[in-house]
């Protein structure tokens, strides 16, 4: 493919898809880990803390993995 604009567009779309996949995975993993039972109108403080920590660990690991692949 010789069109740089098209290549850029395809790369951006691929990045959007990967980001959407990562958000879906993060939501699924952290929800299953942190939410017990049926949530009410608000999360408990324990659930909120768990969700925050889980999301942060997930993002930290994603960055670490991405950096590892860049090194190879």
CATH number of residue 14's parent domain:
1.10.287
Reported confidence tier of residue 72, pLDDT bands at 50, 70, 90: low
Q: Is the pTM of this model over 0.85?
A: no
DSSP letter for 42, please.
Answer: S
What is the extent of the structural domain holding 10?
4-34+44-71
Is 39 inside a domain boundary?
A: no
Is 63 inside a domain boundary?
A: yes
Reported confidence tier of residue 36, pLDDT bands at 50, 70, 90: confident
Domain count, the chain: 1
- If you average pLDDT over every residue of the chain, what do you get? 87
Q: What is residue 60's three-state secondary structure? A: helix
Is 22 inside a domain boundary?
A: yes
At residue 63, does pLDDT exceed 90? no
Reported confidence tier of residue 46, pLDDT bands at 50, 70, 90: very high
- Under 8 Å between Cβ of 55 and 26: yes
Q: Which residue did the predictor score with more confidence, 68 or 5?
A: 5
């Amino acid at each position: 493919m010789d069109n740089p604009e098209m290549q850029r567009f395809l790369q951006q779309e691929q990045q959007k898809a990967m980001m959407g996949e990562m958000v879906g995975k993060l939501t699924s993993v952290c929800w299953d880990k942190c939410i017990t039972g049926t949530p009410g109108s608000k999360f408990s403080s324990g659930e909120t803390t768990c969700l925050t920590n889980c999301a942060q660990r997930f993002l930290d690991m994603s960055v670490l993995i991405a950096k590892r692949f860049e090194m190879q």
